[in-house]
Structure formats: C-alpha cells, structure tokens
Structure 1
Amino acid sequence: MNNLPKMFEAFDDARRKGFVEVKKLKEDGKKVVGIYCAYSPSELIMAAGAVPIGLCGTSEESIPAAEKHLPRNLCPLIKSSYGFAITDTCPYFYFSDLLVGETTCDGKKKMYEYLGEIKPMHVMQLPQTNKGEHSFNLWKEEIRVLKDRLEKEFDVEITEEKLKEAIKSKNEERQILKEFYELGKLCPPPITGTEMFQVLYGSGFKLDKEAQKQYIRDIIEEVKKNIESNQQKVSKDTPRILITGCPIGGASEKVIKLIEENGGVVVCYENCSGAKPNDRLVDETIDPIDALTDKYLNIPCSVMSPNDERIDLLSRLIDEYKIDGVVEVILQACHTYSVESYRIKKFTNQEKNIPYLNIETDYSQSDIGQLKTRIAAFIEML
C-alpha cells in the first residue's frame, strides 16, 4: 500500500505538533533560541545545548496588529513576524529564551529593535558582500560574538568538540534533505512540488532531528518503491518549474498550488526552503569557526552585492533539474529581490534560454484570480 500521502501529511502537520513539542522541551529544562533567517548559524546554538527554531511569520492574520507600529508599505514577512510577537500568538516565540537575527535588510534590523523590548535579542551584523578577507573576518567576529552571548546567556561552554558534533549533525540533516529534494531531478518527477514543499517547510518545525532524518529516509525509500512499481503521479510531458526568490511558506504557498493546478509541476526550490541553505555543507576538516564563517557568509541571498553565487546556483539547478520555466516569487516591498529580478530574468532568458515569470505578491488571497490568469498563460506558453 502507498503510505506516502500520510507521510507527507505528517510534515504538513508538523508546525501544529511542534507547538506541543516546544512546550515539552521547556518543561524538560531545554533552552530555545528563535531564529528568523538562514544566516543564523544553527550549529552554534546546538553546541550550546539549546534548540534553534524558526519563528512564525508567513501569515496575514497578524499583520493588522503589526501595522499599528510598522508602515503598511513594508515587507509582509517582517510585518507578520512582528505581529505574531506583539500579539503573543506564536508559541515558538513565547517559549524562546533568546532571539537571533541578522541585518539582512533595513526593515528587519529596525524591527529587531522593537523585538528587543519584548525578548532578549541578539543581532548579527551581516556584511553586505561575501567577497574578500575583510568580509570574512567581519562575519567570523560576529560568529564569535554570538558564541560568547550564547555561553553567557545559558551559562555553558561551547567547546570545539561540541561544535564539531553539531556541525556533523546539521550536515547530515542537510544531506538527507538534499537527497529528498533531488528526487525532483527524475523525469517524470515521482512527487509533486506541493508534496516536496510539505517536507521541506515542515522539517523546520520538527524538533527531534534524529527522528526527522529517519522519517525523511523512510519517505525516500517509499518513493523509490513507487518508482519501481511504475506508480507515476506526474506525466513526463508536464512543464518543469523552478521557484526562486523570497522565502515562501504558509499563505504564499498559493503560488505552488496555482502552478500545479494549471498544468505545471514544481521540481526545484532554489529559495530558502530548498537549495539555498542546504546545497552547501559546512567543511568538517577545518577550524569549526572558520568553517561556519565560510558556509553562512556564502548563502546566495539577494542581500549580497554582488550576488554571483545565486547565478551560479541557478545555472546548475536549471541544468540538473531540466527546467522548462523559472518562476520568481517576490514579496511586496522586498527591495533586494525586486531589484535583482532584472538580472535573474536576463540570465534566465538570455543565457539559459528559458522563460521567466516574475510574481510580486503578499500573504493575502486577494490576488488569486490575477495570479491564476498569469500562471496559466505562462504554463500554456511552455
């Protein structure tokens, strides 16, 4: 019997169940560190004996409360994150002992000032370029400062041995996630983009990482069994879509659904839910602080200038996943991705010779009709 639907649902339900898990962790005396971005070095938090957990911020329900303090023409991710904090409706935020953020954009770093009035807040000063020794040393020092803060906050010592163990464990998690999402390279893909996203997004809310790793291994094995028995969900002629751009999840999953309801299939996520944070592992053969510095400084986000690494990653993914079209999702008022979209379109159209669609949206459902029309036309063209 095909067990995959229930297995995918388990990840889809992970956020709600995670609320119960994080409460139990606190009752057991564990420390929790809330994080907002892929630039947060989770290994340091793990080496401090604490649990890193992504905080709520992909829903429109908390935005009206946030707009009492924040401007309306601000990125919905920032407003949603802040709204959940001030309304105390995110259990992960409620149970966090410390918050860690980075100066990825102006909106976030100013919002963090307000969060610091609610919870202990540590902000890492992210260099705006990953080129050269100067930026490397700046980010290395920020990682050391975070290490000191964690040790002081939780009265622990982060030894080199603990850090190496955390790096090894996190690399294993990345490697298993990579093995899972690389199923999208197969033609036809053995799972839909919606199912792939259920696991990628839901894995951030599974706090027992050893159990998570095994569960994903089980899914991979089940998928392989379905391939062997010729159980195909997707036609080999279905247009293969890569999603790039801003982080998606929660309300912005509407884009995935519209692509797949209108004849396409998402086989690859380049953004923060997929390849961007997981493609590159931390080097386990060098000094752990140097290794973390190199790994996290080279995440190819649009906040970096220039952002050549994103082009390199996209180029490789387009080839490896046999992509027919690229859809870039940009949250309203996200200036770095909005500005960089011209470069991505030019690269996709001219160098890779495939179609590109730019979608600017927010967390509301008011643009569903417009998005459906545009996405349907794009896929029909493919």
Structure 2
Amino acid sequence: MEIVKELPEIFEEFSDQRRKSFLAVKEIKDRGIPVVGSYCTYFPKEIAVAAGAVPISLCSMSDEPIPDAEKELPKNLCPLIKSSYGFAKTDKCPYFHFSDVVVGETTCDGKKKMYEYMREFKDIITMQLPQTQDEDALEAWEKEIRKLAAYLEQKFGTEVTEEKLRAAVKQQNAIRQGLKELSGVMKADPTPMSGLDLFNVLYGSQFKFDLDGIPAELSALKEQIRAEYDPAAREKKPRILITGCPMGGATLKVVRAVEENGGVVVCYENCSGYKSYDRMVDEQDPDVWHALAERYLSIGCSVMTPNPNRLELLGRLCDEFHVDGVLEMTLSACHTYNLETHQIRNFVTKEKGLPFFSVETDYSQADIGQLNTRIAAFIEML
C-alpha cells in the first residue's frame, strides 16, 4: 500500500469489505431483510432501497467458475458473462445465493440469454434497456423502472411510495457524491496513493450494507488521506486514465501492470469508477420517476448508439485529472466495447491530443507477462 505513514484502518476495512460481507449478507437475511442482486450500473438501486431491500453486486470477476459455465455456454463468449453464470450455476457466490431476486438488463445479447438461463434456478426480472438516449427511450425506460417497482412491491409485500423513493434518491446521491469526492484526491500531482488502493475502496463500497453510513466513512477516509499527504514524499509518475469494460478481480492485473511499471492510475472512467457515480438524480425534479429514469439512461455505455455521454465524461476526466495517457481495457468477445475502441482512440488522440493504448484480455493469468511488456513500453513512451 502506498499511502504515506500508516494506512488508515478505515481504508483496510474498505479493501477487505467484499470478503467480510459474505457473512454480513447472511445476517441480513436472518433478520428478514430482502436482498436484490444485480450485475450492472443501469440497475436503479433506489427502487430496491425504497422497497425495503438491500441492493448487492453479484460475483462476476473470476476465472474460477468459467469451466463450469462453459458446459452450457460457448467458450468464445465474454468472460464476464461466463464468470457470472458459472458463479450462479455452481452456487459459489454467497451474494447470488442469498438474493431473493436478481435484476437483469438487456445490455447485450450474451447477458440477455444468460438471464434467460438463470430463470431455471433463480427469480429474475429483466429490464428492457433502450439502446438510444432520446425522449422516446427515456419514456420507455421510466416504464421499465415502474415495472421493477411493481414487481418488488408484489414480491416483498410492500409499497414503493414517493416518500420512500425520494429518501432513497437522497441516500444514493450522498453515496455517489462521497465516491466522487474521494476519487478527486487523485487530481493531486503527485498522487497521495496508488490507483489500486483507490480501486479497492471504490469496489469495497459496493459491499457495505449500512448505506446511510457510507458517505461519512468516505468523507473520513478522504480527510485522512489529505491530512497525511506530503507531496515531497511522493514520486511523480505518468498519470493514466483507464476506460473500457468493468474491472475487478482478475482484471486488476492491468492496474498492477501500470503501477508496477512506473505509472499511476489516477482515474477509472469505466463502470467500476466514474461512470457509476458521476451523475446525480435531480432531487428538485417534481417527478421523481422521471428524474430516476433520466439519470440512469444517461450512463455512457458502449451499448448506446450514438454514445456521446461516454465521450463527454472521458474528455472531462482527462482534463480534470491532467492525464498523460489513456488506457482502454476491453474483454475478449465484448463486441460493443471492442467495436467502440476505434471511436475512443480517435477522440483521445485527435480531440484531446493524448496518447492512447488498448489491451484486450480475459480473466486468465496467461497474458500477465505480455501485459507487463506492452504497458511498460507505453508508459516509457510517456
């Protein structure tokens, strides 16, 4: 770990949160609190919270269950989908096991079919995600959000009232703002910590179930990092922004390759980072359902066509974090992100005037040597 002086205890807590939460989720179930699992940032967590449930992200970032998944799924499928399905099918993901329902979304063909197969052994509701971001799409997405609320109301014998929904919006906005402000410490040059440390906090926050307490913990960590920050004791390094597919688990090998070869990851634009907490739900909108739909549909994922919101966020983060280069990580057989690489390369190199580097990988460890060699050459060029 790279924070100056001693690593704050709260930082260690976030880093280790996913493992500890295996037991916590069982305790939640024992108290009779429902659990709603999901895989995607398009899932409106506020609906689950307003229904009295705990939202939880499900396992999908390891190659361990992939051989089991490949007994039913094709080998040339995206590793994220195979991992997700393998964990679910073998019942090796505690969060999936304890989820009363899993909320899916039609982001890609592989996930749509995966949710269809999962229905054989789990309650699944699949939200029909529009893949444009115009007014017609917004209307359709609001209907899907209302359908989700009605489903959870019936499932849990509760009512998603406007009052509950607005309280959930305020809570989730506070969490998003906390994550955004914590991520902002990496705007300093040199950075006060490593990008891997930052990622562990961002990722670990998904597995904290005291949702009301998360903003205060994030704020305390941010203040402690700033208090311990001594620029003279830190080394300036090439500043890398990572974009592309969701990261975590096995794909952290890419972050390690950057930081073990002289660079530092200052920002994650992908679903594991800013994409999930950059935009807030408009708390002043008199129609809370419309505000929710607008916030979630505006996420700039590669499944959207056209996809201007990804470019807007990427460009803004390049400026705010003073990046020296952009690294895109795509997963093998993730067609939407791989297809969009051409557009992202042109935007980064021509519009922003920055070096761009793309790596395609999977969840195996077989390419670690190659990743180190190629990423080291990119950083040396910077």
TM-score band by shorter chain is: over 0.9
Residues 250-288 of structure 1 deviation map (CA, whole Å, 9 limit, x = unaligned): 010010011000000000000011110111000001111
Question: Aligned match of 2:103 in 97, 100, 105?
Answer: 100
* Secondary structure at the counterpart of residue 263 of structure 1: coil
Matched, 1:243 2:245: no
1:62/1:377 CA distance change after superposition, 3 Å: same
Judge conservation of contact 1:12–1:202 (CA < 8 Å) in 2: yes
Q: Which residue of 2 aligns with 1:43?
A: 46
Q: Which residue of 2 aligns with 1:137?
A: 139
**1:9 Cα offset (Å):** 2.4
Matched, 1:349 2:349: yes
Residues 281-331 of structure 1 deviation map (CA, whole Å, 9 limit, x = unaligned): 000011110000000000000000000111111111001100100000001
How high is the TM-score relative to the length of structure 2? 0.97
Judge conservation of contact 2:279–2:295 (CA < 8 Å) in 1: yes
Query: Structure 1, unaligned stretches of length 5 or more?
Result: none
**1:233 Cα offset (Å):** 6.0
**1:5 Cα offset (Å):** 5.2
Judge conservation of contact 2:131–2:304 (CA < 8 Å) in 1: yes
Query: Partners of 1:100 and 1:326 in 2: how far apart?
Result: 32
Matched, 1:205 2:207: yes
1:20/1:196 CA distance change after superposition, 3 Å: same
Judge conservation of contact 2:190–2:231 (CA < 8 Å) in 1: no
How high is the TM-score relative to the length of structure 1? 0.97
Q: Which residue of 1 aligns with 2:73?
A: 70
Q: Which residue of 2 aligns with 1:295?
A: 295
Judge conservation of contact 1:190–1:232 (CA < 8 Å) in 2: no
Question: What percent identity do the matched residue pairs reach?
Answer: 57
* Secondary structure at the counterpart of residue 209 of structure 2: coil
Number of residue equivalences = 378
Query: Partners of 2:223 and 2:311 in 1: how far apart?
Result: 32
Query: Partners of 1:234 and 1:69 in 2: how far apart?
Result: 50
Opposite residue 174 of structure 1, the aligned amino acid is: R
Query: Partners of 1:260 and 1:9 in 2: how far apart?
Result: 20
Opposite residue 249 of structure 2, the aligned amino acid is: G
Matched, 1:17 2:20: yes
Q: Which residue of 2 aligns with 1:320?
A: 320
* Secondary structure at the counterpart of residue 222 of structure 1: helix
Q: Which residue of 2 aligns with 1:220?
A: 222
* Secondary structure at the counterpart of residue 4 of structure 1: coil
Query: Partners of 2:191 and 2:219 in 1: how far apart?
Result: 18
Instruction: For 1:237-316, list aligned pairs within 5 A.
Output: 238-286=237-285, 287-316=287-316
Which aligned segments of 4 or more residues in structure 1 are displaced greater than 6 angstroms?
A: none
Q: Which has the higher mean CA deviation after the structures are superposed, 238-247 or 348-357? A: 348-357
Q: Which residue of 1 aligns with 2:63?
A: 60
Instruction: For 1:149-228, list aligned pairs within 5 A.
Output: 149-227=151-229
**1:2 Cα offset (Å):** 3.8
Query: Structure 2, unaligned stretches of length 5 or more?
Result: none
* Secondary structure at the counterpart of residue 358 of structure 2: strand
**1:224 Cα offset (Å):** 1.2
